[in-house]
Amino acid sequence: MSNMFSITNIKNRFISVIAPDIPPLPSSHSHQLHRGNISGAPSNYQLRMAHQQKKPDKFAYARPPFLQLLTIDELRASADHNVRPIIVPRDITLLPWGTGYAECVNSGKSEWNEDQAAFARQVLSDPTHSHPDLPYTYYGIFDGHAGYGAALAASHQFHHILHEKLVDCLELLLPRDEDAANSKQDSSFPHPSHFQRRVSKDELIIGALESAFFNMDALIAQDRDRYRDAGGCTACVALFINGKLFVANAGDSRAVLSQRKSKCIEKNNATTGAITNADNGTGAQEVFAVPFSFDHTPETERLRLLTVARLKPHLMEKQYAAMEYAKRPHMKDLGQRILCRQGTMKGWTYKTLTRDDLRMPVVTGEGKRSRLLGTLGVTRGFGDHDLLAINTGTQIKPFLTPHPEVVIRDLSKIVSIPDENNEDGDYGILVMATDGLWDVSENDAVARTVFQTLDKYPTEKHRYTMVAQELVARARGKINDSGHWRLADSKAAATVDDISVIVIPVYQYYKEHVEWEKRCAQVLQERRAKVTQSATEACEDESLLVNGVTKAQVEVEHDDAEEEEEVVVEVNRQQAQATVELEEDASQKAESSGQTDPLSAHQSAEKDVKDLIEHELSAAISALDATESSEDDKKEAKESSVTTPEKTYKAQQPQQQQQHQHHRNRNRKDKR
Amino acid sequence: MSYAYLFKYIIIGDTGVGKSCLLLQFTDKRFQPVHDLTIGVEFGARMITIDGKQIKLQIWDTAGQEAFRSITRSYYRGAAGALLVYDITRRETFNHLTTWLEDARQHSNSNMVIMLIGNKSDLDSRREVKKEEGEAFAREHGLVFMETSARTAANVEEAFINTAKEIYEKIQEGVFDINNEANGIKIGQQHSPTNPSLPGAGNQAGSASSGCC
């Protein structure tokens, strides 16, 4: 919202030139001046606001934690309005998948950078461990206005609210056996006992996002009793879950997926492949941008705003008109015909101008300059509960909504041919940024910059950080001798607003998801096998033998697998022993099942499975963390597979767990 | 803590010459032998005393890699002092000084004090650039010169403080327009007694009257 408070912005800029170093201020200056502008507003309101300003901040001002700007000195230096340094994480491993981030402060319109960014990695897990866990990753970007409080609160709290919402429908989201059976019929599942209609997982996640947006807004409203008024902010949130990308947006921040078509065709046509590979990489036709959010400005939301005005005319307090005029009407035009559109009309018509028509339209201006009640340039987001319109003091909040629009991409449907090495192009790079970027950069230009920069740094770990930095650098431009920020290439005005950019390599998430899926499928398979095994105990011998071999071989792996001959002997010996042991086990089980009815046997089996899954998942998660060490595991497993060809190395860990489980079962039964 | 002046420094020079290590040694008094590549810019700060006055140094440590050059250029603006660093064990870092100096002169204000620093003086056995060469280059271009070691901390204090002394002298001589923040100098609370004292980092109860920084 670069030009929301243009007058006060200028004022601030003048002050900034001569002001000595001052302490960090809790509230943006423009906020207070803005309040003071309200002419004719009841003075008790101003008193309330004065009281409001004495309340503490809910969160101390800070930049996103992954930037590690820990001291007030660093914070101050990063907010240098004359230089506008581009800040990137000093430790790029703090963000998953090599995700890039860069930001830059405004040129002086507010003391602090009022944008905020956040990310979180979480796991949805069933307290009873009857289903495998479901991990997810969240990124959020929030553009504050009229103070930094709302954006700061959202960056601290939104992901907690979202997590609660997801946990609410946990049992419907977690992967389960039925999914495998019904995998052909989409991921939706009929639950006639719970729902009148089929509700898909996607709809549940969309619902979680939507309700989290509403709750965040309500929380900011509640906090006004105890904390300083937070102002407002936009919210653009990306959620990576279940192999899908969800982008929820409220406001004029934007998420755009930068994609690039595969280069294979050119490669095939070219006689000298190496050369075309290098310079066709950034060809304009190949690169394209797919919008993943819609801006919510008075202009784009005209229909909704005028519907609100029409249905609740009292909100306009007889100060505004649900009308739009082709040209601004004046007193002298009274009684004349004037071109206008009334309410939610799309086309234009003539009407005779009356005195009431001289009121200010609910929506004025076009494009980035469009305003709601002549004041606000953004129509969805969090906060703004106390925001009053300039000059009239009319409440603005009833026209606003935190309701996000959600866009989904199912990443499993994307085809990417490994030989083409175009994963970043096929899956796309998700660029989430505040309007500081989008005000001066077209989506397609951003997409081109993304791939140009990636080509420049083909292997660097920080390549996505470089993309974010480059995007911010271009939008910020350079300051000229007269102190104006200009774009480097066109000399047009650069953005004077705060700029924040997140650059997410979507394929890196998908890779992680595929790994998780494999583990998950395996867990479910194990579980099924276990259930069958326990339920049909009479014909157990064969499977037990298999388990016996497995056990022996698991123990082999604990030994030094280098001496193969010894290993074989060991296996044989242990195999024999294990078979004996397990036969005993089986007979014991048969005994116990003789005493109890089949249902309870089944229940105990299910309990075993729960324990089993609990173990396996903890193993799977630790394996996720240590993907590097898995290389060694694979090697080891290959060596051992010489002696036991039945086993694949992927099954190694769970089988080991299963054996432990077996021992435990036996112990339990012994106790009985 | 209040201060009389705040000076903004920038540290520049080829990648791997020890810019970040110099900063760390000066601000934290420690040496980190393996340092990650600086991406973009990092900040440090320390209070020093000159002529009985508290002076805060705000130091911008920049990325040395060529890829960052254009962004680094935008950081010269508003710097009162620059530490131009080369590595005495790598001749090419000395050879690039001319380019760095041109960049600095072109993009900074003309009064910026530039200190030439030959770093890694503890690695004398691997020296490729003689001390005399550094001295000659500094003399030729009107710079102050010093050899330092971020590892042993030799001359690190001196390098930062001598630069500050030079800036301070220029202020006394009236060369710097201290009211223009773009010169890299800010007047602190000690000079404007009407202002309330600077609250700590966590204290958000500052007055709104002094406007915007």
Q: Is A152 on the interface with B (CB under 8 A)?
A: no
Please name the residues between 46 and 65 in chain A that touch chain B, using a CB distance below 8 Å: 56-57, 60-61
What digits encode the pLDDT tens for the residues A37-61?
A: 334 444 555 555 666 567 889 999 9
Q: How far apart are CA A42 and CA A54, in angstroms?
A: 20
Cβ of A86 and B41 within 8 Å?
yes
Mean pLDDT, range B107-123, rounded to an integer:
93
Instruction: Provide the domain count of chain B.
Output: 1
Distance from CA of A82 to the nearest CA of B (A): 7
Q: Is A69 on the interface with B (CB under 8 A)?
A: yes
Residue partners of A625: CB distance under 8 A and separation at least 6: none
Mean pLDDT, range A159-168, rounded to an integer:
96
Which residues from chain A sit within 8 angstroms of residue B210, using beta carbons?
19-20, 22
Cα A117 from chain centre? 10
Q: Is B199 among the domain residues?
A: no
Cβ of A469 and B39 within 8 Å?
yes
What digits encode the pLDDT tens for the residues A119-138?
A: 999 999 988 887 888 999 99
Q: Is B67 among the domain residues?
A: yes
Which residues from chain A sit within 8 angstroms of residue B35, using beta carbons?
none
What digits encode the pLDDT tens for the residues A233-266?
A: 999 999 999 999 999 999 999 999 999 988 655 5
pLDDT at B77: 87
Please name the residues between 20 and 39 in chain A that touch chain B, using a CB distance below 8 Å: 20-27, 29, 32
pLDDT at B191: 58
Average pLDDT of chain A, as a whole number? 76
pLDDT over 70 percentage in chain A: 65
Residue A564 has pLDDT above 80, yes or no: no
Q: How far apart are CA A608 and CA A589, in angstroms?
A: 14
Distance from CA of A207 to the nearest CA of B (A): 37
Output A148 or B175, whichever has higher pLDDT. A148
Which residues from chain A sit within 8 angstroms of residue B199, using beta carbons?
23
Instruction: Indicate which CATH number applies to the domain containing B91.
Output: 3.40.50.300
Mean pLDDT, range A4-30, rounded to an integer:
37
Q: How confident is the model at residue B57 (pLDDT cuts 50, 70, 90)?
A: very high
Q: Is B82 among the domain residues?
A: yes
**Residue B180 is part of which domain span?**
3-185
Interface test with B, best of A73, A75, A88, A103 (most B CBs within 10 A): A73
Which residues from chain A sit within 8 angstroms of residue B198, using beta carbons?
21, 23
Residue B196 has pLDDT above 80, yes or no: no
pLDDT at A103: 97
Q: How far apart are CA B9 and CA B160, in angstroms?
A: 9
User: Which of A256, A167, A149, A145 is CA-nearest to residue A212?
Assistant: A167
Interface test with A, best of B39, B46, B209 (most A CBs within 10 A): B39
Provide the 8-state DSSP code for B34. S
- Lowest mean pLDDT: which of A25-34, A657-666, B127-136? A25-34
Residue A603 has pLDDT above 60, yes or no: no
CATH number of A53-177+197-262+284-296+401-519: 3.60.40.10
Interface test with B, best of A17, A72, A83, A469 (most B CBs within 10 A): A83
Distance from CA of A423 to the nearest CA of B (A): 25
Q: How far apart are CA A300 and CA A308, in angstroms?
A: 14
Which residues from chain B sit within 8 angstroms of residue A454, using beta carbons?
none
Residue A416 has pLDDT above 70, yes or no: yes
Residue pair A109/A31 in contact by the 8 Å Cβ criterion: no
Residue B100 has pLDDT above 90, yes or no: yes
Mean pLDDT, range A203-231, rounded to an integer:
94
Cβ-in-10-Å burial (0-12, 13-18, 19+) of B106 comes to: exposed
Q: Is A149 on the interface with B (CB under 8 A)?
A: no
> What is the ipTM for the molecules in this complex?
0.87
Cβ of B211 and A22 within 8 Å?
yes
Cβ of B205 and A465 within 8 Å?
no
3-state DSSP assignment of residue B101: helix
pLDDT at A528: 82
Residue A184 has pLDDT above 90, yes or no: no
Cβ of A57 and B204 within 8 Å?
yes
Which residues from chain B sit within 8 angstroms of residue A108, using beta carbons?
212
Cβ of B188 and A57 within 8 Å?
no
Output A611 or A198, whichever has higher pLDDT. A198
- By DSSP bridging, strand A235-241 and strand A244-250 are antiparallel
Sequence ranges of the domains in chain A: 53-177+197-262+284-296+401-519, 301-376
Q: Is B210 among the domain residues?
A: no
What digits encode the pLDDT tens for the residues A438-496?
A: 999 999 999 999 999 999 999 999 999 999 999 999 999 998 888 899 998 778 999 99
DSSP A384-448: -TT-B-TTT--B-GGG-B-PPEEEEEEGGG----GGGT-HHHHH-EEEEE-HHHHTT--HHHHHH
Q: How far apart are CA A416 and CA A510, in angstroms?
A: 12
Average pLDDT of chain B, as a whole number? 87
Indicate the pTM of the whole model. Answer: 0.75
Q: How far apart are CA B92 and CA B103, in angstroms?
A: 17
What digits encode the pLDDT tens for the residues A497-516?
A: 999 999 999 999 999 999 99
Q: Is B202 among the domain residues?
A: no
Which residues from chain B sit within 8 angstroms of residue A25, using beta carbons?
204, 206, 208, 212
Mean pLDDT, range A20-39, rounded to an integer:
38
Distance from CA of B27 to the nearest CA of A (A): 12
Q: How far apart are CA A381 and CA A251, in angstroms?
A: 5
What digits encode the pLDDT tens for the residues A353-375?
A: 988 888 899 998 888 889 999 99
Cβ of A29 and B208 within 8 Å?
yes
Output A238 or A173, whichever has higher pLDDT. A238
